[in-house]
Amino acid sequence: MSEVEVSEQNAEGPVPAGGRVRIGLALGPGRATTVELPGRSRAPGAVRSRDVGLPADDGTWPALTAFLREVREDAGARRGELHLAVLRPLGHLKRLRLPPLRPEPLRRMVALGAERFFPAAGGGMLTGVARVPAGGGGAGAHILAAAAGTRLVEAAVGAAAEAGYAAGNVTAGPAAALAGALARLPALRRGRVALALRGEAGMELLCLERGSTLALRSAPLPAGAAPEEPAERTRALLAEVRERCGYVPGRVVLAGEGLCAEADLDGVEAAAVPELTGYSLEVLAAMGAAFPAADTPLLVREAQRAATRRRQRRRTVMLCALSAVCLAGAGTAHLAQLRREVEGVRDRRERIRPAVAEALRMRGEIQAVRARVDALAALERGRPGWVELFATVSAVLPRDAHLTSLAVAGEELRLDGQARSATALVPVFEAAPWVSSVRLGSPVRREQTPAGARERFTLTLGMGSGGEPRPTPGGAR
């Protein structure tokens, strides 16, 4: 068994017995480094490293399974969650400029051209993309593209599952290392800073602007290199970036073991910082896999995509069911409200029913009276002219007089009748506005009647313009 290195960096105590442990795993060529991440803290706990070789042809990885099981048992946890960072040369990270598409079409484009962008790996490659600021400009979408061999990642995930871990994030080593460095040193998000990381296999140079990667370079570093060798490799990488991209950092931050504390890289100040002192590329990558930044490209396995689709379908079904329940509830509430309103209307109708019945009865009586009035008016309009003439004469004639005949000749009206005093009738008719002249015919004969003495008279009336209706020419008796 290869040697296992264990160190405690800012440990926060053991995991509660039977609890759940979160592990960050940095997987390099033949070697695995784990960092225990207690609770929700971003401070690392125990760091372990072991040679695990490569997966077998059948996809199993016994050495990695044994190592991860040992890590979980040492942590005293029944279960665990593992986040994987695949280091160079097994994992790759590159900044690309592609057409302005949405993230998923961009990922598919990178996946289709993976052999053109990255060194080919047998068994296909997993890819992931994340948008980053344009930096130097240029049209299109500026992205960080990550890739790793599908067979390697599936073997590592299978080994983790056998060891009792649930699979978490998977990303490329440089992107994970940057996320881990940003978690330890947020000041890297200010201005232009170049981050030089030393790992077991070599140097990584990440050229940052406000925490986003504008350029990245790597260089191999032999084991047992002199302390000044990492600075020289960093100087060469900076010169290449300056020449090809025009990038000049304000300062260079050094991280890793075996680095000089300070250096002058062609006029750019380079120094190690306490927050990253002793943190190698592998440790930072293992940390960053568990705490990815917003622009960290994650590698999503097909099983995870299928699980995501199933979750989305379940969520869609749940949302549809919830919408149906809400719609049914809203309909029920609306129906109940309508029923309450109908009951209220019924109550109001019952309260006003007597008043309405009385009003209807009065309306019926009014309509009956109106009908009678209309009938009388029609009869009034349709009566003959003689009736009106009789009514006019009767209105003037005293009560002790009566007519025996009435005749019209032209503009004169002849009246024959009896009265107590015939001469007393003359002033009465003279006072009528429609009479222009009165002549009393002679002789006046006095007769004895059962009602007493009466005088038989004949009056001739000249009809003037008093506005009374005139009978048609002719006579009546």
Tokens 């996809």, residue located: 59
Q: Which of 199, 191, 206, 280 is nearest to 237 (CA)?
A: 206
Asked whether residue 473 carries a pLDDT value surpassing 50, the answer given is no
Q: Listing from the earlier edge strand, what are the strands of the sheet with 141-149?
A: 91-98, 141-149, 125-131
Asked whether residue 40 carries a pLDDT value surpassing 80, the answer given is no
Q: How far apart are CA 235 and CA 252, in angstroms?
A: 10
With bands split at pLDDT 50, 70 and 90, how would you rate the model's confidence at 65? Answer: very high
How high is the pLDDT of residue 476? 42
Task: Retrieve residue 256's tokens.
Answer: 């890793």
Give the three-class secondary structure for 459. strand
The residue ranking higher by pLDDT, 390 or 125, is 125
Q: How far apart are CA 294 and CA 287, in angstroms?
A: 15
Mean pLDDT value across residues 25-36? 92
Give the three-class secondary structure for 77. strand
User: What is the torsional sign of CA 213, 218, 224, 225?
Assistant: negative
DSSP H helix total and E strand total for the chain: 10, 21
With bands split at pLDDT 50, 70 and 90, how would you rate the model's confidence at 401? Answer: confident
- 86-100, 264-278, 377-391, 438-452: least confidently modelled range: 377-391
Mean pLDDT (the chain) is: 82
CA distances from 119 to 91, 105, 114, 148, 171 (A): 9, 21, 8, 9, 16
> Per residue in 220-258, pLDDT tens?
877 777 767 777 888 888 888 888 888 888 888 888 776
With bands split at pLDDT 50, 70 and 90, how would you rate the model's confidence at 201? Answer: confident
Sequence-ordered list of residues with C-beta below 8 angstroms from that of 221, at least 6 positions apart, any chain: 198, 201, 202, 203, 229, 230, 233
> Per residue in 179-195, pLDDT tens?
999 988 898 888 889 89
186 phi/psi in degrees, rounded to 5: -60, -20
Burial 321-342 (b: 16+ CB within 10 A, else e): eeeeeeeeeeeeeeeeeeeeee
